[in-house]
Structure 1
Amino acid sequence: MSYGDYAMRKTSVVIPTYNEKDNIVKLLKVMNEAIPSLNYLVVDDNSPDGTYDVLRKMEMKNLEVIVRTNERGLGSAIRTGLERALKTESELIVTMDADFSHDPAYLPGMLKMAEEGGYDIVVGSRYVKGGGIENWPLKRRIVSKGANFLFRVAMRSYLKDNTSNYRVYSARAAREALNCNSADGYEFQICSIYRALKSNLKMGEYPIVFKDREVGKSKLNNGEIVRWFKFLVSLLFSS
Structure 2
Amino acid sequence: MVEINWTALVILLIGLFALAGYYKGWWKEAITTVFLTFLVLLSQVPTLAQIFINTLNFIISLIWRALSALSLDLVSALETSLGLDINGETPQLDAGDGHTWIIILIIFLSLAILIGRHSLPGWSRPTYPYEGYVATQQAAMYGVLLGGINGWLIISLVRVYLTGSTLPGGSSGTASADRVIVQATDVPLTSIADSFLPWLFAGLAILVLIAAINNRVVYVKDKEGYRKIDYKPPLGYTKQDITLAKDK
TM range (shorter): under 0.3
TM-score of the aligned structures, taking structure 2 as reference length: 0.23
Higher RCO structure, 1 or 2 (CA under 8 Å, sep 6+): 2
Higher percent of residues as helix: 2
Which structure's CA Rg is the greater one? 2
